[in-house]
Amino acid sequence: MSKIVTIKDKQFKPYISQQQISDAVKNIANTINVELEKDLPLFLVVLNGSFMFAADLLKEVSIPCEISFIKVASYHGTTSSGTVTELIGLTEDITGRTVVIVEDIVDTGITLEKLITVLNRKNVKQIKVATVLLKPESYNKEFTIDYFGMKIPNDFVVGYGLDYDGQGRNLKEIYVLA
């Protein structure tokens, strides 16, 4: 495994190896292949961070499925509820579908909550969540994280799609703040 990497003002040290990531991703795919075999799932890949996970995961998914890429945009609207969440890129009719949200990391779960709220309004059959990393100490929502690669403590990580200030997404391994 490679050594310390410097991104802008910060140093990161190796944390999760390519092999560990690959094993975790295969485990997720194997479970999905069994559980969702008859559901024709639609994988909704949440950009930007999930691009690498999505590519690796979907190569191991062997059941019939569809893939679409979205971005979650939140802005302050003029409604009484304050923030408005919009899904950019979702053009499919997802009524009655099994949707698998593909995330890089679930931290507080706020992003996920917004996404699930919007998807639920579209009368999907069921929503499943797949993420490489989960921070259980920080996660405080009630949604089940159906498929996760690894649980990690509340440390800031980069690599395998995750960035620090826009950089580091291309790293093959996952690194933690040194």
| Smallest distance from ligand 5GP to CB 51, Å | 12
Residue among 41 and 109 whose Cβ is closer to ligand 5GP: 109
Residues 75-84: contacts with CB under 8 Å, at least 24 apart = 83/114
Residue among 39 and 173 whose Cβ is closer to ligand 5GP: 173
Active-site residues, by number, are 107
Residue among 106 and 119 whose Cβ is closer to ligand 5GP: 106
Q: Is the peptide bond before 48 cis (omega within 30 degrees of 0)?
A: yes
- Could you list the residues that contact ligand 5GP (CB under 6 A)? 49, 104-112, 156-158, 162-164
Cα distances from 127 to residues 10, 98, 113, 175, in angstroms, run 37, 6, 12, 30
Q: Spell out the residues 6+ positions from residue 63 whose beta carbon is closer than 8 angstroms to its own.
A: 32, 33, 36, 37, 41
| Smallest distance from ligand 5GP to CB 48, Å | 8
Residue type, 41: P
| Smallest distance from ligand 5GP to CB 157, Å | 4
